[in-house]
Amino acid sequence: MVDTEVRSRSALRRAGVLTAAALAAGGLVAAGPAAALPSAAPPGASVNAGRPAPPSPATSTGTGGAVSSVDAEASRIGLEVLRKGGNAADAAVATAAALGVTEPYSAGIGGGGYFVYFDAASGEVTTIDGRETAPAAMESDAFIDPATGAPYPFFDAVYSGLSVGVPGTLATWESALDEFGTESLKEMLKPSILLATRGFEVDETFRAQTEANQARFEQFPATAELFLPGGELPVVGSTFRNPDLAKTLREIALRGTDAFYEGAIADEIADLVQDPITTDDATLPAYPGAMTADDLADYATLLQDPTHVEYRGLDVYGMAPSSSGGTTVGESLNILENFEPSADDPGQALHLYLESTAHAFADRNAYVGDPAFVDVPTETLLSQEFADARACEIDPDAASVKPVAPGALDATGCAAAAAAMPEGAEGPSTTHLSVVDRWGNAVAYTLTIEQTGGSGMTVPGRGFLLNNELTDFSFVPNPDDPNIVEPGKRPRSSMSPTIVLDDGEVRYVVGSPGGSTIITTVVQILLNRIDLGMTMPEAVAAPRATQRNTAAVLAEADFISEYADDLAPYGHVINPTGEIGAAAAIEVDADGLMTAAAEPERRGGGTGLVLEPAD
Ligand code: GLU
């Protein structure tokens, strides 16, 4: 059984975490409001003053601490926290806050996520479930159009108040610092207040993401004002400032998370969700949601045990439900444990990889939802016996017909259960960061606002987008589906922040965005590294394919050109797709040498930094 403890914000207050006295005692407000905090600057994008950007390598090797993320500014901010003596949890919060500034379409205080922490001193791995929740008044048929009885079109639901879950990100940062950190939230927000104030350089990725959202953003006036200043796309090379976000973060830094979950900001979020503000000529239906200020005040993170499997003698820890990441990565690895994939036969290795994730996805779709509402067989899904029964359905020489049926939970031999449960739609956005500190503590943290651009709705004057996480629920209220909408429920996630230990010491920290492809990306990186002999940077950069129990494998163009011939004898249907994921990983070798490995190319390339680079 997975142990779960609710970290309500009132419990933290009782523990003194949120009181003004505690803030002052920690030196947070003693100097007076805003005294030590950066102040506002003009909004929007302007021509860059030409400040040369410091180097932002995708991979670095060395000692003293490491940070890996998709963004150079965010990785540098995390590294600076480590340099000044902060631990991995501190640096992860500071890095995440920075991603909320520079990756506002993927992360930020309007969303949620999952935080996995390894404490080197105790040897324990703990997780924080900071997933968004459905409002208390949301009903199971919320995504069904009463006029037709059919589900709303997916993207009409995305860009609406209906899709917005109660945000968990800020509460996650608070819980992480309270449980594992050494620094205050105020200190960890400071670099991001500065970053939002001074601005960051617009790159191709930011412009392209804005462009892809332009038609929707134009229909929400507050979003257009912030992200399409003067009605135009931000220009590559210009500086993008977000003084509204700086002001919001400053308020939170001074007053704690109450500034967000109670009072004016909470009221404004609830008002916007209930009554989305669109332009007069908007074509989006922008359905209203049911969120109230009470839903925000009641939000609580969950502190819970990680998932755990052993793979090739290593201990693999991940996120238990409400994410399906830990159970599905774990089951895939347990299935692969039955075989010996090797670089000598890449076709066979990749065939086994594709079959392992297809079978694990059949079980994910049938059995995993929010365990507060559904009886999730987490222990069985993670057991080697169950995986062995699944593995015996895999033909080492031929692809199975998809979709495969889920496994019977009491099976000991080769046996499938009922028909496959279809998978709901999940957006390909999100961001992941990995941190290891000088003491060997580690964080894998994946955070999101769901689609790139979330719900498309910016809280007016507050500088951040609201998520559309509730579209991760299944829209059709089929009682056999563990992932239907229920009031207060967390939608099933695929986020898979993963920490791998070797004999009690951190060895790999891995995660990625990519909707449900997150799971296959994490499995493929671990397979590449552990079984196929790639280095971690090679494992991250290698071309990807994803099989999620669908008729066809989807694969990047490079995967097809490199491996289609090897895979041909096995009979998989392989269709091309664009980039899969944008991973950020760290490896620590047995001598303590750290390799921070971000993407060299995907999503414009990430940044992996170490504190003391090796020569
Ligand atoms: N909403 C997705 C999930 O929770 C994440 C979105 C993404 O990675 O693109 O799994």
Residues 511-522: what's their mean pLDDT? Answer: 97
User: Regarding beta strands 59-69 and 431-437, do their DSSP bridges make them parallel or antiparallel, or are they unpaired?
Assistant: antiparallel
Which is more confident, 17 or 249?
Answer: 249
For 37-41, 144-148, 159-163, 379-383, which range has the lowest pLDDT when averaged over its residues?
37-41
- Cβ of 427 less than 6 Å from ligand 1: yes
Q: Return the pLDDT at 429.
A: 73
Residues with Cβ within 8 Å of 545's Cβ and at least 6 positions away in sequence, in order, are 350, 354, 520, 524, 553, 554, 555, 556, 559, 563, 574, 580
- Cβ of 426 less than 6 Å from ligand 1: yes
Which residues sit in the known binding site? Answer: 131, 472, 493-494, 515
Q: Return the pLDDT at 23.
A: 29
Residue indicated by tokens 């079980």? 363
The closest alpha carbon to 573, from 549, 592, 595, belongs to: 549
Confidence of residue 63 (pLDDT cuts 50, 70, 90): very high
Residue indicated by tokens 């290795």? 349
Give the number of other CB atoms < 10 A from CB of residue 47.
9
The closest alpha carbon to 182, from 97, 89, 253, belongs to: 89
- Cβ of 549 less than 6 Å from ligand 1: no
Nearest-atom index, ligand 1, CA of 446: 8
CA dist 565 → 350, 358, 528 (Å): 12, 21, 19
Q: Return the pLDDT at 87.
A: 98
Is the per-residue pLDDT at 35 higher than 60? no
List the domains of the chain with CATH numbers.
59-305+423-613 (3.60.20.40)
Q: What is the mean pLDDT of the chain?
A: 91
Is the per-residue pLDDT at 553 higher than 80? yes
Q: Return the pLDDT at 8.
A: 55
Is the per-residue pLDDT at 161 higher than 90? yes
- Cβ of 494 less than 6 Å from ligand 1: yes
Going by alpha carbons, the residue nearest to atom 5 of ligand 1 is: 515
Q: Ligand 1 centre and the CA of 425: distance in Å? A: 10
DSSP count for the chain of H helices, then E strands? 20, 20
Report the distance separating Cα 377 and Cα 420, nearest Å: 17
Report the distance separating Cα 556 and Cα 574, nearest Å: 10
- Cβ of 515 less than 6 Å from ligand 1: yes
Q: Ligand 1 centre and the CA of 97: distance in Å? A: 18
Instruction: Give the tens place of pLDDT for each residue, 259-305.
Output: 999 999 999 999 999 999 999 999 999 999 999 999 999 999 999 99
Token output for 272 = 């916007």
The closest alpha carbon to 599, from 548, 525, 531, 529, belongs to: 525
Q: Return the pLDDT at 21.
A: 31
Q: Ligand 1 centre and the CA of 256: distance in Å? A: 27
Instruction: Give the tens place of pLDDT for each residue, 297-329.
Output: 999 999 999 999 999 999 999 999 999 999 999
Is the per-residue pLDDT at 427 higher than 70? no
Instruction: Give the tens place of pLDDT for each residue, 332-354.
Output: 999 999 999 999 999 999 999 99
Q: Ligand 1 centre and the CA of 106: distance in Å? A: 9
- Cβ of 495 less than 6 Å from ligand 1: yes
Is the per-residue pLDDT at 25 higher than 70? no
Q: Return the pLDDT at 18.
A: 33
Which residues sit in the known binding site for L-glutamate? Answer: 131, 472, 493-494, 515
Nearest-atom index, ligand 1, CA of 516: 10
Report the distance separating Cα 68 and Cα 596, nearest Å: 6
Confidence of residue 11 (pLDDT cuts 50, 70, 90): very low
Q: Ligand 1 centre and the CA of 473: distance in Å? A: 11
Q: Give the bridge partners for 597, in sequence order.
A: 59, 585
Q: Return the pLDDT at 430.
A: 87
Is the per-residue pLDDT at 20 higher than 80? no
Which is more confident, 40 or 404?
Answer: 404
- Cβ of 156 less than 6 Å from ligand 1: no
Confidence of residue 27 (pLDDT cuts 50, 70, 90): very low
Nearest-atom index, ligand 1, CA of 469: 1
Q: Mutate which of 154, 365, 368, 450 to test ligand 1's pocket (most atoms within 8 Å of Cβ)?
A: 450
- Cβ of 567 less than 6 Å from ligand 1: no
8 Å CB contact between 532 and 523: no
Residues 248-267: what's their mean pLDDT? Answer: 98
Confidence of residue 5 (pLDDT cuts 50, 70, 90): confident
Q: Ligand 1 centre and the CA of 63: distance in Å? A: 32
- Cβ of 514 less than 6 Å from ligand 1: yes
Going by alpha carbons, the residue nearest to atom 4 of ligand 1 is: 493
Q: Mutate which of 328, 429, 467 to test ligand 1's pocket (most atoms within 8 Å of Cβ)?
A: 429
Report the distance separating Cα 435 and Cα 403, nearest Å: 37
Q: Return the pLDDT at 49.
A: 41
Question: Computed from CA positions of residues 422, 424, 430, 432, in that sequence, does the dihedral angle turn out positive or negative?
Answer: negative
Going by alpha carbons, the residue nearest to atom 1 of ligand 1 is: 450
Instruction: Give the tens place of pLDDT for each residue, 165-184.
Output: 999 999 999 999 999 999 99
Q: Return the pLDDT at 615.
A: 72
Instruction: Give the tens place of pLDDT for each residue, 476-496.
Output: 999 999 999 999 999 999 999
Q: Give the bridge partners for 308, in sequence order.
A: 317
For 7-16, 65-74, 361-370, 421-430, which range has the lowest pLDDT when averaged over its residues?
7-16
Confidence of residue 91 (pLDDT cuts 50, 70, 90): very high
The closest alpha carbon to 311, from 499, 445, 124, belongs to: 499
